Amino acid sequence: MPKETKLKLLYKKAMTGDPKSVTQVLRDIEGLMQVISRKYYTPGMTHEDIIQLLRMGAWKGMVNFNPDRL
């Protein structure tokens, strides 16, 4: 199976809330979240706090995504 097809299946499973798929997607985008987090400074928050907020936002976006709203 082509890699692109595997990724689409993984993302579809993640959108249904499948814990293993969500974890894998979050691992896949960890580098991106690291880059994004470096652009933000928030007094009283550590770098890891910002990463955690990005993880929660990514998770929420996955499970609440509705393609019909596009």
Render pLDDT for 9-60 as a digit per residue (tens, 0 to 9): 998 899 888 999 999 999 999 999 999 998 887 889 999 999 999 999 999 9
Give dist(CA 53, CA 25) in Å, integer. 16
The answer to whether position 53 is within a domain reads yes
Tell me whether residue 69 is in a domain.
no
Q: Which residues form the domain of 58?
A: 28-62
Residue 16 lies in a domain: no
Whole-angstrom distance, CA of residue 65 vs CA of residue 21: 15
What's the number of domains the chain is made of?
1
Q: Could you tell me if residue 43 is inside a domain?
A: yes
d(CA 20, CA 34): 21
* Six-digit token string for 36: 């994004």
Question: Is 45 inside a domain boundary?
Answer: yes
Is 60 in contact with 70 (CB distance < 8 Å)?
no
pLDDT of residue 64: 87
The answer to whether residue 20 sits within a structural domain is no
Domain assignment present for 15: no
CA distance 51 to 55: 6
